[in-house]
Structure 1
Amino acid sequence: METSRRTVIAAAAAAGVAAATAGTAHASGAGGRKPVKELFGTLADGTKVHRWSLENGGTRLKVLSYGGVVQSLEIPDRRGRYRNVSLGFANIEDYVASSPYFGALIGRYGNRIAKGRFTLDGTAYQLSVNDGENSLHGGAKGFDKRVWDVEGFTSGSDVGLVLHYVSGDGEMGYPGTLRATVTYTLTRDGDWRIDYAATTDKATVVNLTSHVYWNLAGEGSGSIYDHELSIAAARYTPVDSGLIPTGELAKVAGTPFDFRRTKAVGEDIREADQQLLYGQGIDHNWVLDKGITARPEHIATLRDPSSGRTLKIATTEPGLQFYSGNFLDGTLVGSGDHIYRQGDALCLETQHFPDSPNQPSFPSTVLRPGETYRTTTVHSFSA
């Protein structure tokens, strides 16, 4: 790796760790173990894919250089028993052939862009279309299908990884060379923090996120409809039949999308609501009450009553995409040798809103030369 790349990665690690330290009140205890790297598999073109193992504060995390994928995330239940709570595969071949973004870093643009088109500064761009007539999660070969440069680090009581990828001008139709750096940090409290950063040499749009499929009872254990969820949002963005936002910011009150009070994920998911019919369940963006913030603020809590495992999410982002695993159809076999069926996991993707490049009233996703894209999301675990 060239010296300039090392400098970028070292600086990103330092920034991520400093931010994590500033935003997290640490309990007493020893620091995490040094990250461990091993060969996970080899792509058809001969590119090696490595897996990095991290452990700190009671959380165990395994990450692939392919797509920045979280291959497993293990946390204990109320009796101290560990389970992997993230859906994934046991081998690289399945990730390449059939992964529905299991655990992946998503870019350049998380979620959908209508017809894969947008206009920026008077120039029209046509993106890779891979979801009917729309572009989803960066196109046919988004960041989830790229091999990232990865380096491990330890700093004080924290342990983590810095992932780096350069997306060339025109890749998947997006303008500008985008240099993306994502820092995964496990704190001494066992929090998993993600710091995203990116720069560009030409005006572009960017919306990075993580696509972990959560089942707090354990990967392959069955439905998440009895999981209890709360979301700090009084509005959401309704969609059309192609799951593209209409532009409306609708109230959740009186709809199945009201999670302001804690309720079971499956409580209203079978209601005869047109929005649920469009998504075959929930696949919508919530407009977070807090909006964009300088520091991560708590926006959602997910709990599995059977195990006691609880996930709390804080973010700087203005939106949260809640997807209830509607398109898991029994054709995939996961890392624990279980078949994944509809509703066997859910995703909580912190983000800017879908189709923002075509929705002037939504928060902007435009990044210009000289600016740095920065967002942070923190996942905290307990039982």
Structure 2
Amino acid sequence: MSLWTHRDFVRLWTGQSASQLASFAAQVTLPLVAVTSLGAAAAQLGVLRAVQQLPILLFSLVVGVLVDRWRFRTVLVAADLGRALVFASVPLGLGLGLPFLYVVGFVAGTFTVCFDVAYQSALPRLVERNQLAQGNSMLETTRSAAQISGPALGGGLVSLLTAPIAILSSAALFAFSSLSVAQIRNRTTTGVPRTGVLRQIGEGLRIVRHDKSLRAISAATCVYQFGFTALTTVYLLFLSRTLDLPSAVVGLVLASFGPGVLIGSLLSAWLPRRFGYGPVVVFAALISDLVMLTTSTLRGSGPLTIAALIVINILYGALSQSVDVAVTAIRQLITPLEVQGRVVATINFLGLGLTPFGALLGGAAAGALGIRAALLMSTLALFLSPLCLSLSPLARLRQFSE
């Protein structure tokens, strides 16, 4: 059965699409409020970005417990209704200055953690096992489209309406998302006993540690996020300083990741059916890293270099997104329903926890070894991810029984 005829999934998909569009638009409009309305400096923008990310480390594990205890619909509705109210308050609270925006960023970031853990845990409770690949592909396709169009929407509305008014578009989209998700009729709960929060966090950590496949996914996520953060830190320096590309061309090159990610999302349901889950997560990850490795060999700022960068980014985006969606489906299929939230939260916590250190290492390596050498080193670090996957039972996984 096609998921387009599954009413509850369509309501989830509609809400998630609106929510992702609002979230990516706010990544542009909120900083622009700080710059254009409050005169924020670069360091103050860094603080704003940091307080938005801080809830991932502070609350992910607790949110995983709440998602397993409550109906996923309740968490999703509350998270987006909360974000709608927070962003709607921005035009009214500007008189309080930058500290007010820091509070907005922190509270919105907390609700984002709640939404992300809940929606990643919702699909296995909503659809059949044989529909997970299609469902993940559809959700990731719209997320990828939002990642491309959201910043453009935010930037366009700022130019037309000013940043404080433009941010109300995100508030409206979050409100729409909460209304769509609220119509989901599935009211099942996992039946998780409401024991101590710390005990249930520990259960989630133990499940990931003891399951070989989940442990491999967690390890692969950790090393990938570490290496990728280091890579992205150096990559911008490589484009602008080593290759000496103009700012407009740098923007074009960076934007080329978006179509690749969208292509990968569209292919992600077909690839595991054709080649099996194991080969997809191992070989697609390996090939994507080999593709990115060629970046460090490029020189000059001519048309051939620019074309090569765009092709590399499209291929890398498509292959890495295919891996991401396949790994998500595997995690959903092997994780019991009653611990979906805690497993998602644990992997997110561990995976994103190393990203600040990756950024620091990338910057330090660029200063000590040179930009090109740092780019090569950070790209080589990405290969640890397919290595972790290849040494696990996941490498031999073909299909799941229905």
- Name the TM-score, length of structure 1 as normaliser: 0.25
Higher helix proportion: 2
Q: Highest Rg: 1 or 2?
A: 2
- Name the TM-score, length of structure 2 as normaliser: 0.24
Higher strand proportion: 1
Q: Which has the higher contact order (CA 8 A, sep 6+)?
A: 2
